[in-house]
A and B are shown apart, each in its own frame.
Chain A
Amino acid sequence: KNEVEQSPQNLTAQEGEFITINCSYSVGISALHWLQQHPGGGIVSLFMLSSGKKKHGRLIATINIQEKHSSLHITASHPRDSAVYICAVSGSQGNLIFGKGTKLSVKP
């Protein structure tokens, strides 16, 4: 069993839809990260969470430490949101343990 599990693996949405991507983890963490990877491969850090909720523009990330679960929400989705969204947790050595990613495609 992977230490970080994401669902769904693939997601197709119509422009304007509300999107939720889920992440569950099985290890102790110091923080959870949501990352965005575009087709060119570069990765951008969206959020780092250790508790509660964060919001940036149309993106919202929440974490429930007791349930070891986090969600990434995108409101009013747009084709430019199409990317792979990756959940990662900070391990004891400071490195990240990654989920396999969720490929999001938003259709106009």
Chain B
Amino acid sequence: DGGITQSPKYLFRKEGQNVTLSCEQNLNHDAMYWYRQDPGQGLRLIYYSQIVNDFQKGDIAEGYSVSREKKESFPLTVTSAQKNPTAFYLCASSMPSRAFYGYTFGSGTRLTVV
């Protein structure tokens, strides 16, 4: 079955360390997105990519980096510059040119800084 795989589900990081969250899709979707969710807040856009080798900053990109070397993969690195990285991170994909297909979401990664 097609879908999005995020790994790991839970991640613990020491302060000052970079960590990379994985997001892989086999839906042949062009666009991929990273969102962050904090308690009591709506999901906020970190980065998005509409085609391979291209990506754009979202609303809260500071302290994060991404790459899109393959259509299937859109990893997110949480760097030590991110002041408050403890949150739930959600990856999504869509096929913008076929908007009626909507979005597909991963199951998320919960990152905790210890």
Contact = CB atoms under 8 A, between A and B. Distances in A.
Interface of B: 31, 33, 35, 37, 40-45, 48, 50, 56, 58, 88, 90, 92, 94, 96, 99-100, 102-108, 110
Contact of B102 (A2, A41, A45, A100): A45
Contacts of B56: 93
Interface string A71-98: 0000000000000001010100111111
Contact of A94 (B35, B43, B50, B90): B50
Interface of A: 2, 4, 30-31, 33, 35, 40-45, 48, 86, 88, 90, 93-101
B111 to A, nearest CB: 12
B45 A41 contact: no
A93 B48 contact: yes
26 contacts: A4-B42, A33-B102, A40-B107, A40-B108, A41-B37, A41-B107, A41-B110, A42-B105, A42-B106, A43-B108, A45-B103, A45-B104, A86-B43, A90-B99, A93-B56, A94-B31, A94-B96, A95-B58, A96-B43, A96-B45, A96-B92, A97-B42, A98-B35, A98-B42, A98-B44, A101-B42
B91 to A, nearest CB: 10
